[in-house]
Structure 1
């Protein structure tokens, strides 16, 4: 019979201090109770955080853990300075979870008896409906009427901008949803996917009126980013992206005005396409800025991305396209962080460089922002005029700016954008341009505002000229997801989808 080892002195006191700090969201105490080491681990269903810095950043941004109590605790002593604690938890919202922690004692430390967590794994019962990701979900929510279509067996997360018969369009805003009428028919893109055999898994979250790139909805929270835990999901097609990245749907239907497909695809390691302006019908899609809005979708594979294109895109003359037609644009690669620039360049080692340095790019970005804002207020200003206080702070600030844009300022922006469009179309010609989909990897929520302008410098190029753009997933040297953006002339969407397939092989 093996003799049980006694629990080392101070271990349970440190464990109880951790639990108390967790329930009070005492971030400083939690940081002190986790070993300050680059090898410290914390894992849960959303992914693995490696290193004290990543774990601390996650805690600082999450806003506290769900309420719970410990119902069972088991200690397996390794030696007098190391022990494994497994605790069964009972959540206030219902259900049971499990927490496993590896504790180590540093005899030099005085605080908490020298005990710190070096590795932790948390499991909790998943909510029946994760309202950060989904507004409403089913199994399926809407079935296809055919079982032998090109997309049979596929499931769609529909961004909450598209009409789904029997449901209102919520646009990420509780106030809008409260007064929105129930849709009597499906939007055109939704109907086409159903006709091709796909089913609608559910209606996925978006940021308010799709007017953001972060994915941080002030009312429903941010969908998690399973490919970069602790970082933002990217928006505004955030719910659709997360649903696909988690495997809860195979197709994420969304829209892209200033990058709302390309950015979440890049941040979450997905394939994504913003289609040529007007190539896919926007009937039944709530607008943000009609001159720039485009339908798009995200998938986990280039094959499925192309299969959806075969359903949604109009027939078009195909131009034989190969990697020899791809031109890397060094001036645009340089606008991204070093790690993203390196990942994009390494993905196309043989690409020809294109010497194009758009000298007025900052002016183009600003004109795009002004033009988008003017149109956004034209689309929603009458309703929002007395309801701006219903919006989250960031989106409210954008609409307040939009309200202030004069006709003269809008006309000046249109003139700049017209010149920009002519230059971009001339440079693109019959080439395929390659540059980063976003300026950085997914930032934390605290850093999200700081990368917005940098990313818009890249994403506005396709938006200004109405070009198709495909984001292909790449990995940075630090093993985080990023996006390689391929851009071609209007209506060459199918060529880009074929090229993405080539890169995936």
Structure 2
């Protein structure tokens, strides 16, 4: 260790060595313990900035295996010093860490740190396979020329397998001989396929984590979940790796990542966009959707994928306080502050909402097991705990229970369509901001259930829904959702563009 001053302050070298030993041992608790307590301690890396000791302890995991190449100390005074170290990673490449140390009552502690490391050539939590491009467009003069697409790993791409977020599914999947209908339409419009992006296992989840491939990053809300199940495409778009994220929305799988990552997203009217070449989850609710960083591009994709639709003409916006209050106060406040001046407040009869949510979950689960149960039954132990639990629950749904849930869900769908009518319903895209990635599983499940109470309405009604990005007072991304009658997808996209 070299120093600008002849001798580093007493005890600093030993504290730095203890830090490196904890890193080498993968002891994240010991690493965190060498940061200073309090709310002003800082640590930044490629995943974002953690402010305060509690955030650092939560967000900091074991570092990559590395070897110190150079270490330099700049002594500020007897109680403060700056340490800059160059490291050589076992996986290749060099990184650098800069640490500001202070002598406290409990010894030397880091008060601020920044860590840099070589970017991976392919972030496996976001992408399964990527190219430059993976598939070129078929019309370089098309309306989407210059745009790139991250395809959720449930759509057929000719020459590739569908992986569905599960290694064993990928292993047994056949090589696709032709593109899914929507993939072909995008290529014919001039867009290029950048790659195939990750999804929650079999697209059955809203958080975005995948036990096999990791959790895609959320650059708009670092150290928080990206939202799913269209998680990889959302992160790819948010990071600028692709301009369009092609995905699906069964229970909110476009709307939730759009809200969590501050993106525009659309769930289309059920059945209005062709699903040929799509691996289903629950066909009664599966709908094609997509994400973009701007409302204008969201609409441009709609011009390619949506059929001609007669305008519904009415743009009366209505908000239902009981639905808005299903969101956390910060999300509800952001939406109230956003509401256009002429938005009408209405009070809907929602006494049956809990019954509707239960019917939706049961019918969705029954369909998911009918779709995948035969293949999954001997392989349930290959799934992560979260998705395995859902499929296990689905496997226990009897035929009579499934039929009753289908009837209740169909009646609920009719009620939702009648309530929306020819107006546009305004409600949250998700019940909360993105939960922390390391949150307790019970808290994550509670957030999922709260969000389903909101997102199931458009799913039950088969209605189009567009998510528009907002920010809470604390600066975290969230979303406001516009829901309209079946076939009014283009109206919603036009309105979102004007509002943007």
Q: TM-score, normalised by structure 2?
A: 0.96
Say yes or no: does 1:437 pair with 2:433. Answer: no
Say yes or no: does 1:466 pair with 2:462. Answer: yes
Say yes or no: does 1:89 pair with 2:87. Answer: yes
Q: Distance between the aligned counterparts of 2:47 and 2:89, measured in 1?
A: 18
Instruction: Name 1:344's counterpart in structure 2.
Output: 335
Describe the SS at the equivalent of 1:385: helix
Q: Distance between the aligned counterparts of 2:6 and 2:494, measured in 1?
A: 63
Say yes or no: does 1:126 pair with 2:119. Answer: yes
Deviation at residue 474 of structure 1 after TM alignment: 0.6
Deviation at residue 37 of structure 1 after TM alignment: 2.2
Deviation at residue 267 of structure 1 after TM alignment: 0.7
Q: Distance between the aligned counterparts of 1:454 and 1:259, measured in 2?
A: 12
Instruction: Name 2:102's counterpart in structure 1.
Output: 104
* Matched-pair contact (CA < 8 Å) for 1:331–1:357: no
Say yes or no: does 1:15 pair with 2:16. Answer: yes
Describe the SS at the equivalent of 1:272: strand
Instruction: Name 2:383's counterpart in structure 1.
Output: 391
Deviation at residue 10 of structure 1 after TM alignment: 1.4
Q: Distance between the aligned counterparts of 1:35 and 1:365, measured in 2?
A: 46
Deviation at residue 3 of structure 1 after TM alignment: 7.8
Deviation at residue 337 of structure 1 after TM alignment: 0.9
Aligned partner of 2:392 among 365, 383, 400: 400
* Matched-pair contact (CA < 8 Å) for 2:363–2:406: yes
* Matched-pair contact (CA < 8 Å) for 1:469–1:487: yes
Describe the SS at the equivalent of 2:131: strand
Deviation at residue 503 of structure 1 after TM alignment: 2.0
After superposition, the Cα gap between the structure-2 partners of 1:342 and 1:25, relative to the gap in structure 1 and judged at 3 Å, is farther
Q: Deviations over 1:210-268 (max 9, x none)?
A: 01111111111111111111111111110000001111000000000011111111111
Deviation at residue 498 of structure 1 after TM alignment: 1.2
Instruction: Name 1:455's counterpart in structure 2.
Output: 451
Q: Distance between the aligned counterparts of 1:271 and 1:3, measured in 2?
A: 51
Instruction: Name 1:484's counterpart in structure 2.
Output: 480
Instruction: Name 1:39's counterpart in structure 2.
Output: 40
Say yes or no: does 1:213 pair with 2:206. Answer: yes
Deviation at residue 477 of structure 1 after TM alignment: 1.1
Q: Distance between the aligned counterparts of 1:442 and 1:420, measured in 2?
A: 28
Q: Distance between the aligned counterparts of 1:190 and 1:251, measured in 2?
A: 12
Instruction: Name 2:307's counterpart in structure 1.
Output: 314
Describe the SS at the equivalent of 2:378: coil
Structure 1 runs, 4 residues or longer, greater than 3 Å off: 2-6, 319-322
Q: Distance between the aligned counterparts of 1:301 and 1:129, measured in 2?
A: 25
Say yes or no: does 1:417 pair with 2:415. Answer: no
Q: Distance between the aligned counterparts of 1:261 and 1:400, measured in 2?
A: 25
* Matched-pair contact (CA < 8 Å) for 1:321–1:495: no
Q: Deviations over 1:9-54 (max 9, x none)?
A: 1122212212222333333323322122222222122222222222
Say yes or no: does 1:493 pair with 2:489. Answer: yes
Deviation at residue 203 of structure 1 after TM alignment: 0.3
* Matched-pair contact (CA < 8 Å) for 1:226–1:268: yes
Describe the SS at the equivalent of 2:448: helix
Describe how 1:27-66 pairs up with structure 2 within 5 A. 27-59=28-60, 62=61, 64-66=62-64
* Matched-pair contact (CA < 8 Å) for 1:47–1:227: no
Q: Distance between the aligned counterparts of 2:128 and 2:57, measured in 1?
A: 30
Deviation at residue 394 of structure 1 after TM alignment: 1.1
Q: Deviations over 1:282-322 (max 9, x none)?
A: 10000000000000000111111111111101110123455
* Matched-pair contact (CA < 8 Å) for 1:84–1:102: yes
Q: Distance between the aligned counterparts of 2:71 and 2:340, measured in 1?
A: 54
Deviation at residue 274 of structure 1 after TM alignment: 0.5
Q: Distance between the aligned counterparts of 1:404 and 1:372, measured in 2?
A: 13
Deviation at residue 444 of structure 1 after TM alignment: 1.9
* Matched-pair contact (CA < 8 Å) for 2:259–2:429: yes
Q: Distance between the aligned counterparts of 1:364 and 1:201, measured in 2?
A: 39
Say yes or no: does 1:141 pair with 2:137. Answer: no
After superposition, the Cα gap between the structure-2 partners of 1:321 and 1:301, relative to the gap in structure 1 and judged at 3 Å, is farther
Q: Distance between the aligned counterparts of 1:204 and 1:286, measured in 2?
A: 14
Say yes or no: does 1:296 pair with 2:289. Answer: yes
Describe how 1:321-400 pairs up with structure 2 within 5 A. 322=315, 325-348=316-339, 350=341, 351-400=343-392
* Matched-pair contact (CA < 8 Å) for 1:5–1:77: no
Q: Distance between the aligned counterparts of 2:209 and 2:407, measured in 1?
A: 33
Deviation at residue 349 of structure 1 after TM alignment: 5.2
After superposition, the Cα gap between the structure-2 partners of 1:100 and 1:221, relative to the gap in structure 1 and judged at 3 Å, is same
Describe the SS at the equivalent of 1:121: strand
Q: TM-score, normalised by structure 1?
A: 0.95
Describe the SS at the equivalent of 1:386: helix
Instruction: Name 2:216's counterpart in structure 1.
Output: 223
Q: Distance between the aligned counterparts of 1:22 and 1:260, measured in 2?
A: 37
For structure 2, the 5+ residue unaligned runs are: none
Deviation at residue 65 of structure 1 after TM alignment: 2.3
For structure 1, the 5+ residue unaligned runs are: none
Describe the SS at the equivalent of 1:290: coil
